Amino acid sequence: MMLEGKTFKDSEFGNNGYDFLRYLWASFTILAHFSWKFGEYPIAAAPLLNKITAATLYFNPLIALLSISGFLIAASLEKSKSLKDFFTKRILRLYPEFWMSAIVTLVSLLIVVPYLLDKSILFWLGTQIFAIANTPSCLRTFGTGVVNGPLYSILIQVQLYIVLGLFYKQLKKLNTWQWLVLLALLLGANIGCGFLIGHVDDFVGNLIGKVFVPFAIWFFTGAFVYYKRDRMIPFLKKALFPLLAIYVLAKVIGIRTPGYFDDSLFGVLLSLIIIGCGYLLPKMHFRVDLTYGMYLYHWPVLNILIHYDLMNKLHWGWSLLILVVATLALAFLSWMFVRQPSKKIIDNLMMKMEKQAT
C-alpha cells in the first residue's frame, strides 16, 4: 500500500481533525493529572479516580501531542519563507503566553502563600525566561510540591523545533528507507534513555527528562509522515483500525517493551494511530484555540485546590468542575489578551520581513 502511486494531494492537507484531537488530549492531560493527584488522598479517593487515570493514560497524551506537533510543525517549516521566519513565528507563538502564565503563577503565590517565598523565587523567575521547568526549595511543600509540572515539555518542544529547523533540508532529501533507519536510531535512543534511568543518579535522570533525545522518536515520526505524506496518509487511513487492534490486543495481553516514558511499542503505534486518525475524522478547525492555555494553567489551579484541601472538603466531582472552569477561564483570557495581540505582532513582523526581502 505504501508503495502505490500518489493519492494524497496538498490541497487536502487542511481536511483533518487535529484541532479536535488537540483539545481531546489537552483535556485528557488535565483529567489525568487531577485523578492522579486527588487519588492520593484517602478521603477524596474513589475507585473511579483510579479508573479515570488508567483511561486517560491508555493513549498517552504527551506522545499523541508530540506526534501531531511533529506533523504540523514540519508543515509550518516547509511553508515558511526562511528559518528566521519559522523561528520568529515559533518563539512568538510559545513564549508570550508562557511568560504571562509565569507572571500569573507568581501573583497567585504572592496572594496565597507569601509567607513561603524567599530569594529562591527570583532564580525561578529568571529561569522562566527560557521556559526551564523547576521548583524553588521554598515551594516544595506547596500544593503538589511542583510549581507547574507539565511545563518541562515546552523546553523539549523548543529543542525539537531547533533540531528540525537546522536539519530540515537534509530530512527532506531522505528516502523512505533512510527515514526508517533514522527512526530506528531514535527509537534506540528512547530505549537507551529508559535503561539509563534505572542506572544513574537523580540529577542525571532529571537531566535526561529535560533534553529532547528520548522524546524525538514521536515528534520525528510525525515529521516523517508529513514529508512522505503522499503515500503515508493514505496508508495510515487504511491501516488505522488494524494498528488500533494491535495496540489494544498488546495492552490486553500485557506485552511490555523497554522504553522511556512509555513502552516503545505503544509509543510508536500511538504516533501512527493518532496521525492517521486526524485524516479519518471530518474537517474540524476551531477559531478559538485554548489548548495551550489549558496546558499552561491547569497545574497552578490544581496546586491551589490542594493547598486549600478541597480534595477533602468537597466531593471530587466539584473539585474537578472548579479545575476545569478555572482553567478554561484563564486559557480564554490568555488567548484573548496575549495570543491574539502576539498573533498581530507576528503578522506585522512577517509583512516587514517580506518587504525587506523584496
Q: What are the tens digits of pLDDT across the range 48-62?
A: 777 888 888 899 999
- Average of pLDDT values for 205-234? 94
pLDDT band, very low/low/confident/very high, at 288 (cuts 50, 70, 90): very high
Q: How many CB atoms lie within 10 A of CB 295?
A: 26
DSSP state of 308: T
The pLDDT, as a whole number, for residue 354 is: 63
Q: What whole-number distance in Å separates Cα of residue 63 and Cα of residue 61?
A: 6
Residue 354 makes CB contacts below 8 A (sequence gap 6+) with: 81
pLDDT for res 323: 96
Question: In the chain, pLDDT over 90 holds for what percent of residues?
Answer: 68
CA distance 328 to 94: 18
Confidence label for 348 from pLDDT (cuts 50, 70 and 90): confident
Q: What is the pTM of this model?
A: 0.91
Most confident segment among 9-13, 79-83, 149-153, 250-254: 250-254
